[in-house]
Amino acid sequence: MLPFLVQELARRIGERVEIALDETYIEGVLSAVSGDLITVVSTSGYAAGPVTNIAVDAINYISFPQD
């Protein structure tokens, strides 16, 4: 299952993403996928926020919102 998810995430680099972890919710732009780790640049209004690295197996839910 994870290899398919990693391939799909790699295909969607540059898209907006919403990710739910056990105790955290992250919104931002998917900026990189490397092995079992993804990088998201958080967004808040018009400015880019902090960069967050997330282990793929820690993801509970992921969506790609349409504007």
Q: What is the pTM of this model?
A: 0.85
Residue 5 CB neighbours (<10 A): 16
User: What SS3 state is found at 52?
Assistant: strand
**Residues 24 and 4: beta-carbon distance below 8 Å:** no
**Residues 38 and 52: beta-carbon distance below 8 Å:** no
Q: All domains of the chain, ordered by start, with CATH? A: 2-63 (2.30.30.100)
**Residues 40 and 52: beta-carbon distance below 8 Å:** yes
Structure confidence at residue 46 (pLDDT): 73
Q: How many residues does the chain have?
A: 67
* Per-residue pLDDT reduced to its tens digit, 11-48: 999 999 999 999 999 999 999 999 889 999 998 767 77
pLDDT value at 1 more than 60: no
Structure confidence at residue 48 (pLDDT): 73
Please give the DSSP secondary-structure letter assigned to residue 57. G
